[in-house]
Every structure is written in C-alpha cells, then in structure tokens.
Structure 1
C-alpha cells in the first residue's frame, strides 16, 4: 500500500474498532482514506481524509444495520466504484466500454456498445470488433479516429486507456 492507493472503511455505526485500525494503518502507509458511516460526527470520520456520513436514522429493527444503514452504504459503494470506473477510463459517455468480447453474450453487448458510441451500423461494429480482437474500446477508437486496430491500441496506450483522449490523439 502507498500514496497511489485509496482505502475505504465502512462502519454503519461509525465506531467499529477494526475499521478505525484499518484507516490508521492505511494512512500510515500513505494511502488516501475514506470513511463511510450512517451517523454524524463519527469516530471513523476522524481518521479519514474524506469522511462520508449518511445519517439514516434508527433502523426499524434495532441492531439490523443491513436495512437502512447497509443499503445506504451499498449505494455509496456503487457511487464510488462508478466514479472510479470513469476516472480510470473504463467508460465513454455513459457506456461501459472496457469490454473484451469473450463469449456470445459479451460479443453482442460489445457490438451494441460500439454501435451506440460511434453511430455506425451493427455489421461495421462487428467487423471493427473482429479487427480489435473483441476489445470494444479499441474498436470505438478505430471507428471514431478512422485508424487501424494497431493505431487505436497505440492511441489508447498513450491516453492511459482513456477512450475520449485516444480519439483526439493525432
């Protein structure tokens, strides 16, 4: 663990000792720390660079944090993972484009993604996917930048996997 890592500690109560310990350890290693709790002014928040507090109020069944608290924390995790996917270039617009078509279901999904991202027809998308070895991001860059699969892969590499940037590369 180092300063390129981010550690998220979840504690519905906001005071779970092992979550506090995990955040302390992560911070000592230089990682960015995030806490998620379902109360205000929590202990775990004091140990996080980015505290997220969602005051959900008492559970219908006392002690059953899988209800409101667990649901709220799951929603925050979904938001964090979605933002992470955007940040690391796995999306283009509102499409999850980092798909490698390795089975029939994914081949169909990748073809539909390429069609939507580029405005091309299904046959052209399928051909681009074949040339891109089933990799949707490469096929999208090929079609939008009007280049070969090799050039699209080079562009994606230079753009650190970001499709939008790769399309704009000369």
Structure 2
C-alpha cells in the first residue's frame, strides 16, 4: 500500500512514533498522549479538558494515564498545599536526567507529592509485594531514588550501545599481527 501525506506546517502536534506503535499501550492511552503533546511547554490545562477531548470519564482516564506512567512516557507530581499537578511528558519516552533535575528544583521551592509510582513499575520486594510509596520508613528508597536509579540505568544502556555498535579499528600493527 502506498500512502501520500501532505506535510503540514501549522496547528499540528508532533507525536513520536515510539508511543504510537507501542503495543503495550491501549489506543485510549495513545490518544491522551497525543492530546498532551498538543500543548506547548508550561501551558496549563485541566484533567477534565483532557477527559473531554478523549470522551472518557475521569475515573477511566486515571487508568489510562497510569499506562503512560508505567511505560515511562509521563511522570506526575502535585504541589501539596495548592493541589496543582505538573506533568512531565514525552511521547518518545522521558528524559530521566531532565525530569530528575526539574523535580529536585521544584522540591526545593515547594512541598510535592509524587503521583507517578515508579516503585510499582521498577522493583518488587522478595516476598512479592510491591513497595509502597505511603511507607515513610527510611529503609526503602523514595520515588526520587527510583527515578535516579532509572536515570543511571538509561545512562549505562547508552554507554553500552555506543561500545557495542562501534566497528573495530584495524591498524597496520593489528593487521600485521593477525596475518
């Protein structure tokens, strides 16, 4: 099949194909992600508006937004005194370094609560129970600690991929030694 598409220049959002072709995301989650990509940086909208555009209830939307969280397309925090919610979103997948640094900056100025629960998506205890974000003990890492770990893993993957994809150099001395 051949498809011809006229390239658009204005009033269009850019949605990365990784999210659109992610087989573990439902079509509704993809629609929510595409709608979020329409908004420019620091633009405010409401949860109700997103629900209205996708034509679903707020309870249903929460389920699909958690899919975006689990697949690392979004991360959400909330300012405790005001209830204002801030979303970090990228349809390619989140830039962990950027989000981690932004959360640290915001955390210095405001008291925040993590709405995205990376503890449930990243790690389990040996007894099979998920780690809880509500547990305020000092023994278990916080959401921010898990986010830092995810950033370090992503950094390590990039380092390894560069190492394994480089072609070996053949110099005169190595070519002579193998002959």
State the TM-score, normalized to the length of structure 2. 0.25
**Greater relative contact order, per chain length (Cα 8 Å cut-off, separation 6+):** 2
